[in-house]
Structure 1
């Protein structure tokens, strides 16, 4: 566990970028967690992509006298990626932190992250652990431990990362609750051509571009599991985040030292993509991916391969009738 230190130079300003869309009932808790930060030099930049005026009215009524909040209503709506990109451009801070409207920050989350720059002046990106919570924000501590372990966030991994780009490729880097130098964030930007996996592609490109990335084995944010997320609504379809992430990882030009990280990423992504193609009756494409990524199925010593091949064969002979739901 790291102790927080007070830098001798003026504390950097942190811009908390908060995209929101049609979820005012979740947004309030998120904003309040940002306002409750133990770190003082910050602003909360909100981009509202909502179709109605509920969020706009809520901000006006509840936070009219809060100078740290800078709110903008997007007219017309920008979409997920362009909304986040616009927040990055509007940010005035030295550091940028992203938090989504259905998630939360721990009270000392910003302070824990920003303090890392005092010990590592060349640092460009920092991230830490996430709690997992239900819709109401109640934390499940066992699930939180499993979540971070699944994404390679463990005690033995703490510190400056020897291969910064690896963090993004293997999804060690979280989708929010991270902090980075504002100039680097704006240089990378959120790109809308990647669809639902813009979080993943941004994190990967950010880590690939950074000179130094630090992982802190401590909790700074809360991931709330909600049924209204965009990724949840598109899961199992051909526009699912996993399908786009697979194509992105396959196409990346990487130095030789990061090829094992690419393989690790594809080991996770390829079977899910095969399952998606089987569900959507794309038997030829699904079979090709399965057979060219046998390492993802332990080279045939995995029952998952034969289950997916069975799904694909059913899709091939029954292109119109019912289909089997994928088992990820």
Structure 2
């Protein structure tokens, strides 16, 4: 029985977590065993730099005397034809790079384990014709990649970075809920106006986060690859922020509704406003107040320069990755 040394080189954060869950991987078949070693480092410098990433992996394999090496990255990969890749492989050098977001984001750890096992088993079997790269379908693949990037950003973790805005919005909503003018205004709005108000309030806060956090990515040059990367980064950032703000909006609505049911009596509201109101009107009131408070609290407060907000942007994480890689090269 042969013991093969397998190296997993993973980008920091989520890819490293995924790699460390794979130390118990075993071959699909055969008598060999795998001795898996995990290294966390930013081996990628850009989605267009697949060749450089493969070269760094090969350097690590020689330094550590690995038989096989697989890189796990959270960056999108693409070939010279502009197609997004799931895997780039160099069978002769026993090296492969796997783009985790290209897995689609759902059941990522399970799919990543299956992909890594298949990659290493394919490179270890001389009778297997390992594919050099696996490309995603152009349209469906791009949507799948974008979904994977958004889920990799974990937008629900954006909420702690918005805590001051959320507190300000809660305070604004608590005051607005007991204002009789707000009662009349909320009752006068049709459902489509309420929907537009919700969308507009979320869009305003997302736009403010992008501006305040300087999260908009600009291409490094005029090449199609750089422009495509920026479009993909910016789309994932906007969707991530929108989901995070939407979670805050939903929480704000629930708190406002509970507060309205606790402090307001529909009979008192009717006598004060001169308009018949019931408990159902409290749902509409909480809806309108959530939109108004989101704008007032989000734009009127100082948003934190928080790591949770920076993590929502692939461009910022790519910048941090390049800085770490540059420091590592300087130290060596």
Could you state the TM-score of these two structures normalised by the residue count of structure 1? Answer: 0.23
TM-score, with length taken from structure 2: 0.23
Q: Indicate the structure whose relative CO is greater, using CA pairs within 8 Å and at least 6 residues apart.
A: 2
